[in-house]
Amino acid sequence: MSPEKRELLRLALLRVLDANHTRYGLGLTALGHLGLSFGFLCATTAELEREVHYLEDKGYVTAVFKVISPENRVWRITAAGREYVAQLTNE
């Protein structure tokens, strides 16, 4: 994936997570499905996971820890992530 597409995928993931107004978060399958609306038809699970971890390292998303089935990881956007998306929208 080119650096430009990777940046667009990261922004798409942030926007998808920003639109999820629940406390439960979204998993990789949901992120991949919802990313289709941003044109990411061929993003693999490995690519999605790598980019979610990148956004997690940046503090824009956080993992939501589940008591039941913790192997099904989910993430939600953080306040820093929302602020970043808002800055992009307001420019």
What is d(CA 50, CA 72) in angstroms, rounded to the nearest whole number? 16
- Quote the Cα angle for 27-24-68, to 5°: 80
Question: Which tens digits make up the pLDDT trace of 21-45?
Answer: 888 899 998 998 888 888 777 778 8
What is d(CA 13, CA 45) in angstroms, rounded to the nearest whole number? 13
Place of tokens 């939600």: 76
- pTM value is 0.88
Calculate the average pLDDT of the chain. 89
Query: What pLDDT is attached to residue 91?
Result: 60
Query: What pLDDT is attached to residue 2?
Result: 85
Average pLDDT over residues 86-91: 82
Query: What pLDDT is attached to residue 85?
Result: 94
Average pLDDT over residues 50-74: 92
Domains detected in the chain:
3-90 (1.10.10.10)
Q: How many CA atoms lie within 13 A of 64 on its CB side?
A: 15
Amino acid (1-letter code) at residue 12? A
Of 13-17, 38-42, 69-73, where does mean pLDDT reach its minimum? Answer: 38-42
Average pLDDT over residues 37-57: 87
